[in-house]
Structure 1
Amino acid sequence: MSDQRPQYGELATPEEQRRAAGLPPLDEVVIAPPSAPLPPAVQAGNPVNESSTKRSHPVDRFATIVMLAYGLINVVITGLSYLDLPSVMNQTMKVVGIEGEFTNFAQAKTWGMIAAIVLVVGWSITAALSIRRLRRGRLTWWLPIAGAIVTIGVVSVCIAVPMMSDPAFVAHLEQMTTP
């Protein structure tokens, strides 16, 4: 039995290479036209490596999903409490040590509703942008953090409006500023 493979250091012809790889000879190969159009980059002669367009970041994906889930739980719990903002303000004033009770109920109900809506809208926008970035294979872990910071900033302003208009809170601030 003779070995038809090239020996170490010898160059193999294309026919020998195909035979060694178990492929049919070149004259038997039929090239079929592509069934689907090629992407523009491939048509232009630039092969696209799919792994370069869709990068897998499993830790980033996990962190983003966990932060979005935590944010959703926070939005539900906090948003429901903001719907009863006068009682939240009363509890806050007691914790801080402000004497008196919160009396600015009308503004608190309005701004509490606005704060709850801002929470939901802020989380929804953050989740939509995060999912969009995750689908594109981009790093996304920072987006829920940035969305939370922006949303909390806007919600804090919404809550500060009725708090700064309450006579007991204003009296406490005046008491703190006088020597």
Structure 2
Amino acid sequence: MSDDKDDRPEPQYGVYATPEEQRARIQKPDATWSLETGESVTDAAVSASGSNAGAAAPASADPGRSRAIDRIVTFALLAYALVNVAVAALALLDFPQYAATVFEVMGIPGEFTNLDGGQTWGAAAAVALVIGYLITAWFSVRRTMAGKIAWWVPLVGAVVTHLVVGALAIVPLMSDPAFTAYLTSIS
């Protein structure tokens, strides 16, 4: 029997190691033993790591910390968005004033005169803004509660919602004679 061992090449990478030797080497607890004894795998891991106090712990990111950071960023973005949605929705509900601001910023001479269309489309844009925020917040909370990364949801939700709101808000502006005259003058 000793001849067989001498004839074999030197083991590399745990080729000849038993499962117990492999677990001891990689500091992984035996899940079967844990199930049979009723001790949890994490308890067994703590016990095993206590016996290997001199061994270096593997370097890995703490998932609890990254989830906490994700939650903080997600809810900070949602809080910021809530303030913006409240301000923008109120502005869109008073569409003639909103259009006057747009005219002033863009340097459009004249006055917004499509008042009926402005009120209707402004209210639709405000409702779309609020609904977009609510859907984004709902989806963000669901992903966070499921333990999934959710920081990107408020960003994507903001882009999609603002595309829809922009399309709704541009309709009464494109129907206004002063706005269309300005567009034709610059082209």
* More RCO (CA 8 Å, sep 6+): 1
Aligned amino acid, residue 80 of structure 1: L
| Identity rate, percent | 44
Whether 1:135 aligns to 2:134 is no
Could you say which structure has the higher helix fraction? 2
Distance 1:168 1:86 in 2: 13
Aligned residue pairs: how many? 127
Distance 1:140 1:151 in 2: 17
Q: What corresponds to 2:105 in structure 1?
A: 95
Aligned amino acid, residue 146 of structure 2: R
Distance 2:159 2:104 in 1: 26
Q: How far apart are residue 171 of structure 1 and its match?
A: 0.4
Q: What corresponds to 1:81 in structure 2?
A: 91
Q: Give the alignment of 1:1-179 within 5 angstroms.
A: 56=64, 57-177=67-187
Aligned amino acid, residue 90 of structure 1: A
Distance 1:70 1:160 in 2: 25
Q: What corresponds to 2:14 in structure 1?
A: none
Q: How far apart are residue 92 of structure 1 and its match?
A: 1.2
The TM-score normalised by the length of structure 1 is 0.68
Q: What is the Cα-based RMSD across aligned positions, in Å?
A: 1.7
Q: How far apart are residue 94 of structure 1 and its match?
A: 1.6
Aligned amino acid, residue 125 of structure 1: I
Q: How far apart are residue 96 of structure 1 and its match?
A: 1.1
- Where in structure 1 do 4 or more consecutive aligned residues deviate above 4 Å? none
The TM-score normalised by the length of structure 2 is 0.65
